[in-house]
Structure formats: structure tokens, C-alpha cells
Structure 1
Amino acid sequence: MPQPPSAVSRDEPVIRDRGDACPGALRLHAADDGFLARVRIPGGLLDVPQATALGLAADRFGDGHLELTSRGNVQLRGLADGCGAELAHLLDTAGLLPAPTHERVRNIVASPLSGMDGGGRPHVLPWVRSLDRLLCAGPRAAALSGRFLFAVDDGRGDVAALGPDVTLLGLPRDRALVRLGAAADAVEVAAPDAPRAALLAAVYFLDAADAAGTRPWRVSELPAEHTLQAAELTVRLTAAGIAVRTVPEVRWPYSPPPRPAGPAGSGLCVLPPLGRLTSAQWHALVDAAEAADGELRVTPWRGIVLPGALGPGSAGHHRLEDAGLAVTPDGPWESVTACTGRPGCAKALSDVRADARALVHEARGPLPLHWSGCERRCGHPRAAAWVDLVATPGGYLLDGRPVAPHQLAAAVSEARRRPRVSEDAVKK
């Protein structure tokens, strides 16, 4: 079974001389294909009117496509210069901009199958909504960077493995664990207190960041002498009236992401190739959600879960498949991702999406594969083992080694089938 990635140790402290430049719905990013907006979707939770508004925005202001990100957010590309005010009005009317001053810090991933597939796990999506309200109402929270990440995990360990800065992990008997960064220990609180505890953990990070003076964006970037401690978090939570106990050396669970198909309960997991949809595909998803239970859940693995019953053979299932979306497991696009590449990104050295499409049927295998247009590797998988394909001026590097173009498909296929040793195994 795959294991979550281990924490990366830093030999030198990270010192930032500026704030982060993450785009948002109000702070647009100038890309080579026009302006880009990133709309935060806490927990990936969208109702039908909100999803409809995103599709309308893509058609009215953008290039007619929607991109899913590795944090369960939605990006609009190809936006025209000067459309910002109209776009903001459309998103605000749909309830997608509840707090303009906080819109870039609403980075919350959540277990997308929570409440759907049994297993006795707590239903944690209400925690997402509570945490989002607290974030938007807290003036101090506006100081978080656009890269700071909260994870709300129902106990299966799927989003806890994504390297979040603050993790809430659901436990039986109405309890929850709160973890800071990749620490081995955690604190335990009552489930109703979990969202407020997560916010107080983020404020603790901000206080430590101010004391460090290095302007870190994430918990892992704090200098060693300012590392966050469960004992100090316990003191802070207790002072805020939250009953808490420290839990040392927690063994964190891990479950892989949902695959295309229906989960154990009702519902359907849909995978758009490379996490990119045309507005027509998006509207097909919205129609399917409206015919089911009226909700879409964007996952951090660039998929979408429709909680309502859409079993194999149903009309909705066929419509999504006919639209070019993967709705069954073991398809060629499963576990294949790519950055934007050319022509959208000025730093990219190749049209990686076109290259991925050209080889997708030949370069298959069980390990995740990520195509990167440059050495930054934007959007790469959070997995213990994955195949790394990076464009260079002279072709592609496959796991750090050059490979001839005519050998690329065979070499990638072999690499995706090769056993890998996780970082944890190497350390042992």
C-alpha cells in the first residue's frame, strides 16, 4: 500500500523578502494566455448555483475552460484585461467571495468521501464550513499567506497526507486530533471545538512567524528555534476555554485518493483528463449534480465527486462518459497530471499537455506520472513515489535522466511499473 510522503528536512532556514504572489479571485495573475483567477473552494464544496456561476464566468470572461487545482480550487484562464470587477461581482453574487480581505487564505482541503461510504468515520464537512466562517471573521487570519493549508480529514488519512500546515483528523466518539505541520505529536479536542482549535493553531503560527522575522509562508519554513510545539498549542487552547490533551507519537492513517467510479456508498467520482474541463463538460457535471443531490465536491486530486446516486448504466453516467470524462477505474488518464505548460506559462519549455495526450495510451502504469514544463514542477503529486517528467531545452528528463524522444513512451511506461522505495523506507 502506498504511504504518505515524509516531511522534508531543511538544512537552511527559508527567509522571504516579500509576501506570496499566489493569485486569487481578486488578485489576478498575468499569464501568457491572459489573466488567471484562482477561486478558493473550501473543502471543494460547491452547490449547483455556485458551480453554474463558475461555468458562466469561464464562458463570459475566460477561455471557456475550468482547471482543478491540487488544493481542490478552481482556476479560470484566458481572462481579459479589465474584467476583474465584473468577475468579482458574479462570484460574490454566487456566495464565492464571502470575505474579500480573506479570499486567498481560504485554503481548506477535506476528505471528499466524508459521510458517503460508511466505515464509522465522522462526517467532517460541517467542520469545513465552520472553519471557513471563523477564518473569514478573524482579522488576524487575513495575515496568512495564500499557500497556508488546512486539511479536514475524516480519519481515513487521505488529505492528512497532503502536507498541510494544520490538520484536523476525525476520531470516533466525537473527538478530533489537531496537528501542526508534519509533527509526530498532536492534541486531542472535542469535535465541536475542532474548527476553532484549527484557527487558533494558525494564529500560533502567525505569532511564531512574527517572532522569527523571516516572513515564512508555511509551518515548515519556520526556523528551528521557532518550531511550533504541541505543548504551547495546548496552553493556548486551554486559555481559550478548549479542553485538550497532548497525544505523543501519533500513528497517522493513510488511504489513497478516490478513484473514478462509484464509492462504496452512493455517488460517483469523475476524473477530467489533466484536471481541465471545457465549459460544456462542466455544465454536464452540474446537470448531473442537480439531478442527484445538488452538490459537487472538487478533490485535491483534480477530480470531482458527485454524492448523489449515479450508478453505472444510469443516464447521467452515460452523459458524463460521452462528454469525455473518466467515470470508471483503470483508464489511461488515471494518475496522470501536468502543469499548465506552453502556451499559457512563460517559464514552460514544452506544451506538456499536448505531449501527455500524445503518449497517454502508450505510457501507462500504476505509479502516478507528472509532466512538468520546467524544473519548478508545479502541481506535482503529493505521493511517496511518482514518475517525474521534466521538460528541458533539449527534451525531457525522466526521473532526472535524459531520454530520447523516440524512447519516451516505452521509458515512461517502464518507470511507472518499476518498484519504488519510499523516503520512510530509505530512512529505516
Structure 2
Amino acid sequence: MLAAMSSALSSASSQATAVSRDRGDACPGTLRLHAADDGALARVRIPGGVLGVVQAEALADAARRLGDGDLHLTSRGNVQLRGLRDGCGAELAGLLDAAGLLPSPAHERVRNIVASPLSGLDGRGLRDVRPWLSALDAALCASDGTRELSGRFLFALDDGRGDVTGLGADVTVRAAGDDDALVALGSTDDAWRVAAGEAARAALLAAEAFLGVGRESGERAWRVDELAVPARVLTRAVDRRLSEAGVAHVKERTDTPRADGPPPGLVGDALCVHVPLGRLTGPQWRELTHVAALTRDAELRLTPWRGVVVPVGGLDTTETADALDRLSAAGLVTDAASPWPRVGACIGRPGCGKSHADVRADAAGSLSAAGRSPLPLYWSGCERRCGHPRGERIDLVAVPEGGYRLSVGAPGGPARTTVLTDPSDLATALAAITP
């Protein structure tokens, strides 16, 4: 039931940053490959991170036949295939299409949807968001207008626990009480309350309103927070689209909960593993798909925190314990005390020609010190900081002259920085910039 309350949205988001886009969006996809130093790169959108076993096997087959054999998880729960050989685009598209991973070639780069990965599995969420996920993905692929969205535009579907609300999505849908949903745009804390059954349609209408405002204003913005127009302009456009579509809605200010992603181990009716630096080898992927194939749902859920959730419905206690042991033996993180979930890195050398260091080797070599850090660490090969996650953390950015610049933001003040010339001295450098 819609709440009987309403307040005007703020005139502008305090976090919005206008950005002028004077070129087209070059974000890679399945049909638009990116040339990297280690070969071509494809980014396969996996809405909600949900993969059936057959689809998972198709991705592994593509990586083995056409690429480096590994599957690289992104901070949006998608999969990258790297080291692809020249001229393999048509074959890759054919493999993925046959597995149902390319439902609409015209929309393949805009199917960016993250969803609470434990939804329906641990009893914590207010509702299972899977119906929203299926409806939104179908609506995206059926809309001619959404083909104009950039490959960076992001939808988030939160089951009420607050895990994906902090990922900086352009359109966030969060389950609310009384069988409602809250739909928010960009970084604002304001939202439209709609009936839960209208959530997916409302999210699509909000995205189409963003596109319409961009066209009318002449803005070439890829993300909602990049629009250089007063927030009320976008607000009115969304209101108008919702009303014209017959979607009842009420504007209100929200206090959005914040929660972390799933910890490694057995959580409710799911096995959760973390993938060190997001890189899954062929044997690790086979172990995951083997475990998934034994379960009732026969699916994997890739998370925005570079992890994998396997629903274990249909397995008894002994079978679940055996599956967890197998995944641990394969080199996947199943222990919540591991420091690996607190460490991230871009691809670095040799895969990226712009990187000044082999950041992954340096991150792995200093894992012990990272485990004692008060904040998560992210290693970047250059100032672009590709794949950098949101949230407070310590940044290690490789510099051209060698070594790293460490920095951590100080609440209400300037960032503290220091220099790390040798990764083996990480513990000393961390002590210099953290309380």
C-alpha cells in the first residue's frame, strides 16, 4: 500500500557531478570487443549475476577455446573474457547466443543489473527480487529507447537488506514494507514509492526519463549523476512518465540501509565463495558448476564483490559440507576470516599497457600485511583506477617512477598519503597513514 506521505525532491543532488561526454561510449561488450595488451576483451552482461549451469559451461567453453581460459569477474557481477584471439567475434557471439546469453544484440551492453545475491536464500530480505530481475531484463530488451543507454548505466535491485544500494547505481529499486518498492535515481536519497508489482516497470520508465532529459537538454551524459540539469527537471520527467503509464507513485525521502556482500562460507541455503582478485581458472569454474549441477536450482549467482553464491537446495548437510571442502580445495575462499575479500586490484601488467606495475602480483605478495589493515585495499596500475569499488578504502596507485602512492580519505579533512617504494614494506606504509 502506498504511504500517504510526500515531500519534494531536493533541487539538486549534493553528490552530482556534471561531466561532458564529447565522444561515444566505448564500453566493451560481447559484440564490441576491446583491444588490450593481452588480446581482445569481451564483457558479457549477466543480469543479477544469475547463470544456469548450461550457460556457465558455455562461458567456460568460450574462454577455453577463444581466450586465456580464465573467467574474470567484474564489480557489477559480469564476466570478462580476456586474451581472445583475433577474428573470433562471430564465433564468440554464436556460442553465447546458443546458451541464451545474448537475448537481444541491440541491448547486450545495457543489461547492467545487480541484485541482492542472497535474496530468497537466507531469510534476511523483505522479498525475493528474482521476479523483478526477470521482468526488468525482459523490459529492457523490449524497449527501443533503452538501446541508447550507455554501457555504464547501472540498475540495482535490493531485497531490502541494503547490500546493493551502496553500489552507485543509476536506478535503484529497494523492497519496502507493505508490499511496496522505493525507486531512486543516482546518488539522491529521495525516491518514488510504488507498488512492488510495478517496480520493474517504474525502473524502466525512470531510465527512459533520463534519456529523454538528456536529449532535450543536449547533454551527452552516460550516468544519472552526470546530468548538468537541475534535479527537478529529471524529477518532473519521471513523474510524468509514471503518471502517463498509470503507475501510482508517491515521492518521499528515504533512509537507505547499507550492508556488505555475502561473507565466504555457508550462509542460509547458499554456499558463498570469494574469488581472489576476481580471476577464476578453468578448474575452479568447473568445480563451481559441478556443485551447482547437484542442487535443485542448478545455478550460480555472481556477486558485485567478485564472489559466487551457489544455492544449495536439494543437498543434505553432508553433501553441503563436502561441496564447501571441494571449493576450498580448488583455491576459492570459503573462510570469512581470510584477508582476500578485503583486497582488490585492476588487471595491471602485462594485460594493460597503461599500467605501471604488476599490481596483482604485488597485492598477492603483500596479503599478510593487507589482512591487518583497518580498511580494504585497492591496487591500481595507473591513475584511471579501473574497477575501483565504492566505499572507504586505502588506494595504492602505481606511479611511473616505480612504487605506489598510498592514500586514505580522512573524514572531514584532506586525504593522508605516503609513498610505498617496495610492496614488501606495505605494513610500514599502512602504519604511516592509518591511526
Q: TM-score, normalised by structure 1?
A: 0.91
Q: Which amino acid aligns with 1:256?
A: D
Deviates more, 1:39-48 or 1:332-341: 332-341
Among residues 271, 274, 278, which one is paired with 2:277 in the alignment? 274
Mapped partners of 1:214, 1:235: distance in 2: 20
The yes-or-no answer on 1:259 pairing with 2:267 is: no
Mapped partners of 2:423, 2:388: distance in 1: 24
Per-residue deviation at 1:93?
A: 0.4
Q: Which residue of 1 aligns with 2:183?
A: 178
What's the secondary structure of 1:262's corresponding residue?
Answer: strand
Q: Which residue of 1 aligns with 2:134?
A: 129
Q: Share of identical aligned residues, percent?
A: 56
Q: How many residue pairs end up in the alignment?
A: 408
The yes-or-no answer on 1:316 pairing with 2:320 is: no
The yes-or-no answer on 1:327 pairing with 2:334 is: yes
Among residues 29, 37, 49, which one is paired with 2:34 in the alignment? 29
Determine if contact 2:366/2:423 at 8 Å carries over to the other structure: no
* Structure 1 residues 62-77: aligned runs within 5 Å: 62-77=67-82
Mapped partners of 2:308, 2:25: distance in 1: 28
- 1:232-255 CA-to-partner distances (Å, cap 9, x unmatched) read 4223211101111111x2111111
Q: Which amino acid aligns with 1:257?
A: G
Deviates more, 1:220-229 or 1:57-66: 220-229
Q: Which amino acid aligns with 2:78?
A: N
Per-residue deviation at 1:409?
A: 2.1
Determine if contact 2:420/2:429 at 8 Å carries over to the other structure: no
- 1:19-78 CA-to-partner distances (Å, cap 9, x unmatched) read 111000110000000000000000101110001101111101000111000010000000
1:406–1:138 Cα change, 3 Å:
closer
Determine if contact 1:350/1:391 at 8 Å carries over to the other structure: yes
The yes-or-no answer on 1:43 pairing with 2:48 is: yes
1:58–1:407 Cα change, 3 Å:
closer
In angstroms, what is the RMSD of aligned CA positions? 1.8
- 1:287-309 CA-to-partner distances (Å, cap 9, x unmatched) read 01111231110000110111115
Q: Any stretches of 5+ residues in structure 2 without a counterpart?
A: 1-12, 408-416
What's the secondary structure of 1:237's corresponding residue?
Answer: helix
Determine if contact 1:289/1:296 at 8 Å carries over to the other structure: yes
Determine if contact 2:406/2:418 at 8 Å carries over to the other structure: yes
Q: Which residue of 1 aligns with 2:384?
A: 376
Mapped partners of 2:123, 2:30: distance in 1: 35
Q: Which residue of 1 aligns with 2:98?
A: 93
Per-residue deviation at 1:404?
A: 2.9
Mapped partners of 2:102, 2:84: distance in 1: 18
Q: Any stretches of 5+ residues in structure 1 without a counterpart?
A: 1-5, 420-428
Q: Which residue of 2 aligns with 1:307?
A: 311
1:120–1:402 Cα change, 3 Å:
closer
Mapped partners of 1:344, 1:220: distance in 2: 31
1:125–1:350 Cα change, 3 Å:
same
Q: Which residue of 1 aligns with 2:294?
A: 291
What's the secondary structure of 1:195's corresponding residue?
Answer: helix
What's the secondary structure of 1:186's corresponding residue?
Answer: strand
Q: Which amino acid aligns with 1:58?
A: A
Mapped partners of 1:409, 1:120: distance in 2: 39
Per-residue deviation at 1:266?
A: 1.2
Q: Which residue of 2 aligns with 1:355?
A: 362
Determine if contact 1:124/1:154 at 8 Å carries over to the other structure: yes
Determine if contact 2:52/2:298 at 8 Å carries over to the other structure: yes
Mapped partners of 1:357, 1:17: distance in 2: 38
Mapped partners of 2:27, 2:384: distance in 1: 15
Q: Which residue of 2 aligns with 1:207?
A: 212
Determine if contact 1:152/1:169 at 8 Å carries over to the other structure: yes
Q: Which amino acid aligns with 2:307?
A: G
1:111–1:406 Cα change, 3 Å:
closer
- 1:343-398 CA-to-partner distances (Å, cap 9, x unmatched) read 11111000101111111123313421100000111111211x10100001221111
Per-residue deviation at 1:145?
A: 0.3
Per-residue deviation at 1:315?
A: 1.7
What's the secondary structure of 1:20's corresponding residue?
Answer: coil
Q: Which amino acid aligns with 2:250?
A: R
Determine if contact 1:212/1:226 at 8 Å carries over to the other structure: no
Q: TM-score, normalised by structure 2?
A: 0.90
Determine if contact 1:212/1:222 at 8 Å carries over to the other structure: no
Mapped partners of 1:228, 1:307: distance in 2: 43
The yes-or-no answer on 1:220 pairing with 2:225 is: yes
Per-residue deviation at 1:192?
A: 1.1
Mapped partners of 1:65, 1:212: distance in 2: 43
Mapped partners of 1:85, 1:404: distance in 2: 45
Mapped partners of 1:409, 1:295: distance in 2: 39
